[in-house]
Amino acid sequence: MSACRCETPPFDYRDFQSTPVGIDETNGRFAEVSIETCRHCGTKWLRYLVEYEAFSESGRWYRGRLTAEMEQALTPERAVAMLESLTWHFYGGSYFRTTGQKGVGPLCVDL
């Protein structure tokens, strides 16, 4: 059985139903935090998007599989720690010059 579209970059926004959680203002990031539900398999993903308008190629996003417990505890300010606690996550954007790769460990969200 092949993996769902939500597990194989590059991702297409049309494959997800997005629900905003809020804005993470930590360190002046103003990052968008949302829960994305795959329209094909129903998997929920935590998505974190940050871009620094004054700097070209600064856009970066992260997406990690969200458990029910994580969803209950999720706030915009906790999103980075939750993503970093996962065994793996996806990342991409102009900062990384990729449409999506698998990664582990700390996120690069600040300038």
List Cβ neighbours of 107 (8 Å cut-off, separation of 6 or more): 48, 62, 80, 83, 84, 89, 91
Q: In what order do the strands lie in the sheet with 98-103?
A: 16-24, 31-38, 44-50, 60-65, 89-93, 98-103
What is the pTM for the complete model shown?
0.94
Q: What is the pLDDT of residues 50-103, one digit of tens each?
A: 999 999 999 999 999 999 999 999 999 999 999 999 999 999 999 999 999 999
What are the extents of the domains in the chain? 5-99
pLDDT above 70 as % of the chain: 98
Q: What is the mean pLDDT of residues 38-59?
A: 96
3-class SS at 22? strand
